[in-house]
Amino acid sequence: MNIFRSLLFFVITGLFELGGAYLIWLWLRENRSIWYGLTGAIVLVIYGILPTFQPSSFGRVQAAYSGMFLLIALFWGWGIDKIPPDKFDIIGATVALMGTLIIMYAPRN
């Protein structure tokens, strides 16, 4: 699997995790219909399946995904909650993203 495709799967996985959790948040915190919660649960099941398409072991994929998730979550918060990331958010996400790239794509013997 090439790096672009792997990164794309990380982004899609992050959107499914955030989307599913957000739907459940709306159901429980904003008193939306139970259908929000059920849809969120289905989306979260798909989120659980998506990492299986990555080319590495479970632990490595989960560790690398965590760095990517930070970046995606910041953009999600900016778009949904209208809270732009500050310089420390950007610095932290950059460090985490560098960790993701090293964990997943560094050449190994």
pLDDT in tens, 42-52: 999 999 999 99
Return the sign of the alpha-carbon dihedral for residues 64, 70, 75, 80.
Answer: positive
8-50 per-position pLDDT tens digit: 999 999 999 999 999 999 999 999 999 999 999 999 999 999 9
In this prediction the pTM is 0.89
Over residues 52-102, the pLDDT tens digits come to 999 899 999 999 999 999 999 999 999 998 999 999 999 999 999 999 999
Residues in the chain: 109
